[in-house]
Amino acid sequence: MIKVFVPTLAAMLTMSALAATKPAAQLQFDASQGVAGSVEMPNGKVNYTAFTHLYFVTNVEDSTYQYVNVFVPEGATQRSPIFLKTNVGGYMPSAPGFPSAGDATGMALQRGYVVAIPGSRGRSSYITKKGKRLYNGKAPAAILDLKAAIRYLRHFDKEMPGNAEKIITDGTSAGGAMSALMGATGNNPAYEKYLKAMGAASERDDVLASVCYCPITDLSHADMAYEWLFGNTDSRKADDEAHRQVSQELAAQFPAYINSLGLKKTDGTPLTADNYLDYIKQQLIRSAQIAKDAGADIPDSIGFTLSNGDGGTFAPINGGVGLPADMAKGMAGARGGKRVGEYVTGLDIEKFLNYVASQTPLKTAPAFDALGVAGDTASGENDEFGNSSNIPANFTSYSAAKNNTAVTDEVKEAEYLLNPMSQIGQSDVTVAPHWYIRHGSIDRDTAFPVALNLATKLENDGKDVNFLLAWNRPHSGDYALNELFDWLDKLAK
């Protein structure tokens, strides 16, 4: 029987307090335990059946986070795709959530997708053992939990509505990085020993598609990309001498990295440090053109050159000699004055990057591995690579060297497990065949090359990639949802 269930914060807290903490003999799913609920969408209510507190490992260390909630909309079948949303932000722990009209989960339900919202441990989460805090949510804990959730869905695929061969992951920012990881690390044996120790199901963990909004990923190269892109902005020029030097040193490392990737442009020609800035410009011009076509106003001041095609492609009337005087009389602007097209033809990238930096102040250099460099303290990413005593760590050789140390083997391993870039194209990894990647054109939380390299590497590897530097979007996600779900419907339904 289905009970009516309205999730309140109090209910959720009570449930996590009651959650099991002892290792279970085996994973559980009981299809009779569904609870009715609904989400109010702008165009009507969507009813669902909720299955909550589905622990995805038998060795539950942290009962607040290591479970998944699954929501089955009315009409869903065994064949319905599964939309798996991670709410990870800032590499922090993320509690299993409920569907919302405010993100992609509401629309997913409305479009008939089964929705799964797993929790995962994060950089600030800990358990108490013998009176001491054990920080067990540091890298790579979050991706381990999420992979365990995928395996759980596969393990109970027959018992649960939805098709676990059609899992689509979605996340924003650090969650975008997690979504990219779920997409790019399928079945990689490197995770096996950890997943086994956790008591994750012995199942495949590859997925059909990965939706990544502004992924904060490739952390070991994100600092050099940031300074290479933003290093010449007015904002950087105003920095103190120590930070300017850091910026220049990091920027100088980027060309070798780009060249080492061996990427190719769509036309098959090599993408190198020499043509990379043009590649970014083309992406920004493409974004601006799409926006312009949709009616956006693109002010002159931000660096784009627009042509309205005057005197160019206007379809000739009267043999191409212009309008006869009697026809032209009284028209708002015959021939030359008429807008016949709106083409974005060029971009002053320095101007545009200054504009981006004027929208949200840049991060200081280094943007990510900041600990102990030019007097800076630990960033969230240093915390993510910290140890179980909550001591943050450097994760790039550049920043470690500034502290007269080297990146430890443990951190190197965690960085590998947290980086999709090195796993794409690896022979024993199953990478998702479909990708939807967005990074806002005014997002400065990480530099454009991070998302662009991910998209390009996937494309070069033969994957279906829908990439855009989304016009005028800051650091944000789950936008343009009609467009997203129209794309997803085609591949998943």
Residue ranges binding ligand DHB (CB under 6 A) = 89-91, 173-174, 216, 380, 445
Q: How far apart are CA 109 and CA 46, in angstroms?
A: 7
Q: Identify the three-state secondary structure at position 14.
A: helix
- State the nearest-atom distance from the C-beta of 488 to ligand DHB, in Å: 23
In the complex with ligand DHB, the residue whose CB is nearer, 123 or 151, is: 123
- State the nearest-atom distance from the C-beta of 274 to ligand DHB, in Å: 29
Radius of gyration of the chain (CA): 25
Q: Which residue is nearest to ligand DHB (CB)?
A: 173
In the complex with ligand DHB, the residue whose CB is nearer, 163 or 379, is: 379
- State the nearest-atom distance from the C-beta of 92 to ligand DHB, in Å: 8
In the complex with ligand DHB, the residue whose CB is nearer, 198 or 378, is: 378
In the complex with ligand DHB, the residue whose CB is nearer, 90 or 322, is: 90
- State the nearest-atom distance from the C-beta of 119 to ligand DHB, in Å: 16
In the complex with ligand DHB, the residue whose CB is nearer, 106 or 175, is: 175
- State the nearest-atom distance from the C-beta of 468 to ligand DHB, in Å: 19
Q: How far apart are CA 104 and CA 175, in angstroms?
A: 13
- State the nearest-atom distance from the C-beta of 409 to ligand DHB, in Å: 24
In the complex with ligand DHB, the residue whose CB is nearer, 49 or 173, is: 173
Q: How far apart are CA 274 and CA 259, in angstroms?
A: 9
* Alpha helices by DSSP H, 269-310: 276-293
In the complex with ligand DHB, the residue whose CB is nearer, 198 or 250, is: 250
Return the amino acid letter for 458.
L
Closest CA to 435 of 150, 141, 186: 186
Give φ, ψ of 69 to 5 degrees. -105, 135
Asked if 155 and 89 count as a contact pair (C-beta separation under 8 A), the reply is no
- State the nearest-atom distance from the C-beta of 170 to ligand DHB, in Å: 14
Could you say which DSSP state residue 316 is in?
Answer: P
Cβ burial of 294 (10 Å; 0-12, 13-18, 19+) is: exposed
Q: How far apart are CA 382 and CA 399, in angstroms?
A: 11
